């Protein structure tokens, strides 16, 4: 028997020593709760998006380093001693940057750990709050967690896990009982010839569609199909390639009975790609603050995760309005 297991059992036995015959005991499975709590699912999806972007960034750094190393090997016989030392120092610095980046992201208390705490702290707080409320309502003195390995056996009648999940997801149950909220993805207009030739508007729109679809089930959303959206755009003189006036977009959204609508622009500025996205709430005649990101030439390999992150920022408005 491991020291950790033994310590856990001793801890539980000590807890029971302090329990009187009148004290009521229950248990929960926190792993199951976090798997089924809708807020936890959203937090997990958001974390996965952030990790995906960091992986893209790491791959980009790795490719840059590999290219520099290959060039150095090819040019090494032709380099002077001074140039050789300079290139070696440059490669050493790039390798250090690569290793430091990986450590900063995935190391102890790195960005992944920090992001996890940021996203899941409110989820855990809400779970504990509901457990406490149920315990008080039912006169329960002690609640144990089987996921912590602190329970060897208990009668299933003492399990309040389902009650906790039901209470946590009550607001989502209300959403599920009602109609789905329709979401329209309008055009992402490419504002310059180079962006148009590179079909950047279409590429941004595809990423937005992909990100929004990840939340369809959790937020009870219904993505309107292109064949429903495009005729209405054409009727108002628009298209998936043209920029819409906000007032026109809001009117189109109301005609489509859309609760939310996305639109935006993309353009080349120098070598950079500038993406701006907007989220509209047509039925309330509301336009949320736009979000913008500038993707440098060196970051173009990160185009999809960058646009995904930008879209995720607007998702906060959908999550906030889920009730």
Q: What is the mean pLDDT of each run of 10 residues along the chain (323 residues)?
A: 47 51 83 91 82 83 89 89 91 92 92 92 94 94 85 84 92 64 94 94 93 79 92 91 92 94 94 94 93 87 84 74 47
Could you tell me the sign of the dihedral formed by the alpha carbons of 151, 157, 159, 160, in that order? negative
Entry pTM: 0.61
Q: Domain holding 65: CATH number?
A: 3.30.910.20
pLDDT for res 193? 93
Q: Are residues 162 and 238 in the same domain?
A: no
* Domain contains 18: no
* Domain contains 258: yes
pLDDT for res 150? 65
Residue 219: name the closest of 27, 1, 41 by CA. 41
Q: Are residues 192 and 300 in the same domain?
A: yes
- Domain residue limits at 164: 24-168
pLDDT for res 133? 94
Residue after which a domain boundary falls, among 128, 144, 168: 168
* Domain contains 173: no
Q: Which residues contact 183 (CB under 8 A, 6 or more apart)?
A: 212, 221, 222, 223, 224, 258, 259, 260, 261, 262
Q: At what angle do helices 170-177 and 161-168 cross, to 10 degrees?
A: 60
* Domain contains 2: no
CB 79 within 8 A of CB 152: no
Q: Are residues 159 and 203 in the same domain?
A: no
pLDDT for res 319? 63
pLDDT for res 58? 87
């Amino acid at each position: 028997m491991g020291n950790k297991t033994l310590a856990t059992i001793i801890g539980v036995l000590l807890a029971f020593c302090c329990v009187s015959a009148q004290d009521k005991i229950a248990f929960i499975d926190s792993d199951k709760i976090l798997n089924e709590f809708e807020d936890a699912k959203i937090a997990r999806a958001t974390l996965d998006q952030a990790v995906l972007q960091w992986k893209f960034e790491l791959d980009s750094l790795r490719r840059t380093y590999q290219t520099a190393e290959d060039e150095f090997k090819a040019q090494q016989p032709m380099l002077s001693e001074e140039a050789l030392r300079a290139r070696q120092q440059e490669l050493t610095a790039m390798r250090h940057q690569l290793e430091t980046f990986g450590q900063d992201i995935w190391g102890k208390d790195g960005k992944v750990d920090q992001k996890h705490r940021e996203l899941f702290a409110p989820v855990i707080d809400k779970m504990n709050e509901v457990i406490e409320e149920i315990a008080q309502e039912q006169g329960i003195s002690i609640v144990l967690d089987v996921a912590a390995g602190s329970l060897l056996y208990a009668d299933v009648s003492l399990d309040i896990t389902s009650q906790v999940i039901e209470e946590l997801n009550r607001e989502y149950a209300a959403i599920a009982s009602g109609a789905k909220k329709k979401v329209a993805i309008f055009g992402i207009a490419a504002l310059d010839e180079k962006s148009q030739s590179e079909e950047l508007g279409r590429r941004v729109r595809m990423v937005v569609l992909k990100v929004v679809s990840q939340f369809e089930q959790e937020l009870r959303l219904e993505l309107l199909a292109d064949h429903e959206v495009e005729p209405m755009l054409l009727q108002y003189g628009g298209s998936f390639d043209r920029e819409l006036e906000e007032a026109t977009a809001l009117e189109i959204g109301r005609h489509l009975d859309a609760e939310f609508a996305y639109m935006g622009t993309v353009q080349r500025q120098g070598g950079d790609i500038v993406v701006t996205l907007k989220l509209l709430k047509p039925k309330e005649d509301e336009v949320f603050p736009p979000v913008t990101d500038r993707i440098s030439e060196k970051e173009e390999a990160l185009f999809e995760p960058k646009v995904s992150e930008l879209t995720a920022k607007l998702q906060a408005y959908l999550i906030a309005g889920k009730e």
